Amino acid sequence: MIDFKEMQEALIAGNAQRVKELTEQAVQEGVSPADILNKGLVPGMAVIGERFRNNEVYVPEVLIAARAMKAGMAIIKPLLVEANVEPIGRVVIGTVKGDLHDIGKNLVGMMLEGAGFEVIDVGVDVAPEKFVSVAKEKNARLIGLSALLTTTMPSMKDTINKLESEGVRGQFKVMIGGAPVTQRYADEIGADGYAPDASSAVDLAKSLLGIA
């Protein structure tokens, strides 16, 4: 029988090949894709998130662990869809207009996926209209905006203004982050939350959507 502990440990160690093998073994043994996700992959990524928050591991280790998680997810994603397993939440993330930085955004996306969210990554240099249209089209309840340049931070406010002008601000929670961004700025522009790092972004996303 599949040992979920071993799957978690392989993921924490960033051993993508072993995670893939164990995921395939679990599928062959008839383990449900939801159990593979919730008992194997998500808890492993949660450990990495906790260690990252405590400065026990750094960005490279997180990226390696996320790659291992993706190896498992590639196998179970189609099965989750088939089994109608809903993600815990749907979030649109992107770097705002004028800004081409994506490492922080990618890290947040990986951590959110690792926590069971469906992540729709719209990339970099994203106009307010695009954030709004994709969030509406994909029926997401959360929008995550990233900026690394102080000069592009106003685009975060523009995105919130766009939600307001279309009369849909109440349908979406907006969280923001990036090196120059602060809680004070989030309050100023009317964002629903601010996360200083990728691990906190997961906690914030859950709290904004009322997920325990």
Give pLDDT, residue 105: 94
pLDDT tens digits for 95-139? 999 999 998 999 999 999 999 999 999 999 999 999 999 999 999
Residue 168 phi, psi (nearest 5): -120, 15
| CA quadruple 118, 139, 171, 103: dihedral sign | positive
Give pLDDT, residue 159: 98
User: CATH number for the domain including 193?
Assistant: 3.40.50.280
- Domain end residue (candidates: 22, 54, 82): 82
76 confidence band (pLDDT: 50, 70, 90): very high
- Domain end residue (candidates: 59, 82, 105): 82
Give pLDDT, residue 112: 94
Q: Do 108 and 38 lie in a common domain?
A: no
Q: Are 83 and 34 in contact (CB under 8 A)?
A: yes
Mean pLDDT, the chain, integer: 95
Its pTM stands at: 0.87
* Domain that includes residue 199, residue range: 90-208
Which of 5-9, 76-80, 168-172 shows the lowest per-residue confidence on average (mean pLDDT)? 76-80
- Domain end residue (candidates: 82, 110, 145): 82
Q: What is the DSSP letter of 111?
A: H
